[in-house]
Chain A
């Protein structure tokens, strides 16, 4: 989006507010002045909020709102309309507020006590009378096309002065005010003028400094304000998100930084521009493990700042105790079983709720969690991800429209599907390669080492909530590889390993690399599906050799409905948990989880979540299974076999969820952005990046590939 300069526009028209055509805006077209403030701060911020309906608080915005507490009460008295003043001659603009108001009212507002308002007398004669004040007034102007909520309005005769409250101290610049605030105030002035008041200046009260700063509405400011209004209107029509600011100090303070991803987006845009290749070639080089450190960028890029928190404050709650009941007590969720309380957690610590089988939840609890944006995921007793309860659909209709349009376009769908599958094959290959090297290094004695997996970030958290329940096999967190299991697990696997491990592995690695390359060039969905199938077969035969759990964990390929051996039971369950995570992630970005690009829509299937899950199956799903088996966190007794179908026991299921959660919370170094981030966050970021591809900002989806 081009940043406009005012040169081409008729300055006189702008100053006088005269559009060529005498436009009058309808209520729906009015721009909230607060939005103009955001737009001045950053056009992209305004776009995200205004067009895509994103809104998130951060500490700044929350404290800002808190500072307004005493302002936001509507005034008891309406202000007199301008005509009620009669023919009073205009007053000079600079009203000496500090002397005429005995004490700025906001100084006391920060202590929470509201002073009694100054005596209000109808001001029929101007200069000598006390100021008339009104608070929290909403006013619009159809010709300017603006609407504003005014913190405080002071009337002195026919002159009015809007006063804005801002948290913090007076900024150290010549205006003693930031531009967004000056523009916002000036827009308020324009509204007041259109409503017949005389308004030549506004004031900003800085709560921390306890001081007012006058902002004169001079020609330059009026011009700038009108120009910004015009640009904002144009942006609203354009349907193209403005680019992120580059390396701006505004971003760390921006409440939408986690949604905007400024540095990440800029890096990807820069990479795409630097390579200057067409989309398909770009696909195949994104994060490729084979072409590490390739010279993709010539100019020295500024590093991606770590503006995202590495992980969330809150964590999931899983309830799998059959017959349990989830209720709400004040601001806590309480899980009960008959008369016993199993657990009670503050709602602020809960990010999502998963219920397995016969578990009830009260409607009060349900209402409360969806109000807080917490999703409730429903699983069958056997671990099938059946449904999700959430609040209202995300407001980002633009994204859903793009999603449907893309899904209807076979060429674009195939491009995306290729990215998912290429990343999946690569990640599977990386996993095999890494284990093979680890085994060779350690001379086949080390059974449990997976250099990157686990045991580093969370060495000491021996808690699994309420260990008295279901502590059959392995309730707590096994902190070290359990020695007891080693003799059982090592013998058979060593046998398998001695069957020329490196040769078989090398062949598989070569095949997978080749198929990943071919998948990147696939010209039809059928070819892609075929390659994916072949790669999966080879990958799983390599995966089988990595399992060190003894014959009980023999594995000869995937089978699903029902799983017929323990490994398949484990894989099905962790994939189901992974699908849950991605359903939550894509939904929170604003997608419809049911419509995918690789997985064809089928009744009730979260196809988009399954699409995105592809690249994470090896990284999260399979490595969780490997961890469970090779660390002895799960054993033969964790499974039940019934009529050829193998299911997990309750303690077994608990161990799987615990291991999956450890993996999700594990922090890794992001292969493209270079900062520490948990896998759970990675999923959210990928969903966000996918949305940027669909909306046309990014040319291709950067699959997540570890090295």
Chain B
């Protein structure tokens, strides 16, 4: 399945919803900065993320921005440039063995 890299950032006005949003996004990708995540998602996973975030957020007060950075393994990850200490190592698509 083709996956797409998304940059997801959010403004959430209420501390409880903020915490829930952060936790939820941890299940879909990795935090790059405060309130900024990198998520690598299939179309279905993107829909799941939408459904689950909509259950948490109050869209009258909160906002989410989702930027499509293109297919995983291609430009999607080349367009990142970090100044300072980056918090990203791009996961390869392999089974995890520990």
A: residues with CB less than 8 A from B are 57-59, 62-63, 66, 69, 111-113, 309-313, 315-321, 324, 329-332, 335, 342-343, 345-350, 461-466, 469, 477, 654, 657-658, 661-662, 665
Contact = CB atoms under 8 A, between A and B. Distances in A.
Contacts of A112: 54, 59
24 contacts: A66-B50, A66-B51, A69-B54, A317-B95, A318-B95, A318-B96, A318-B98, A331-B23, A331-B26, A342-B98, A343-B98, A348-B48, A350-B96, A461-B92, A461-B94, A464-B94, A465-B94, A465-B97, A469-B98, A477-B94, A654-B97, A658-B97, A661-B97, A665-B93
Nearest to B1: A309
Nearest to B47: A62
A133 B46 CA distance: 34
Contacts of B24: 330-331
Nearest to A661: B95
Interface of B: 1, 3, 23-24, 26-29, 41-45, 47-48, 50-51, 54, 59-60, 91-98
A58 B44 contact: yes
A465 B96 contact: yes
A335 B98 contact: yes
Given A59-B43, A62-B47, A346-B29, A657 B98 contact: no
Contacts of A320: 97-98
B60 A113 contact: yes
Nearest to A62: B47
A320 B98 CA distance: 6
B96 A316 contact: yes
B26 A465 contact: no
A465 B89 CA distance: 12
Contacts, number: 104
Given A58-B44, A59-B43, A319 B23 contact: no
Given A342-B98, A657-B97, A332 B47 contact: no
Nearest to B98: A342
A311 B1 contact: yes
A658 B48 CA distance: 30
A462 B90 CA distance: 12
Contacts of B43: 59
Contacts of A346: 26-29
Contacts of B93: 315, 461, 665
A661 B92 CA distance: 13
A657 B95 contact: yes
A326 B50 CA distance: 28
Given A313-B42, A348-B48, A332 B27 contact: yes
B3 to A, nearest CB: 7
B63 to A, nearest CB: 12
Contacts of A477: 94
A331 B39 CA distance: 14
Nearest to B40: A349
Given A330-B24, A347-B27, A461-B93, A466 B51 contact: no
Contact of A313 (B3, B26, B92, B94): B3
Nearest to B50: A66
A113 B57 CA distance: 12
Contacts of B44: 57-59, 62, 313
Contacts of B45: 313, 348
B96 A330 contact: no
A348 B28 contact: yes
A347 B60 CA distance: 30
A295 B13 CA distance: 69
Nearest to A58: B44
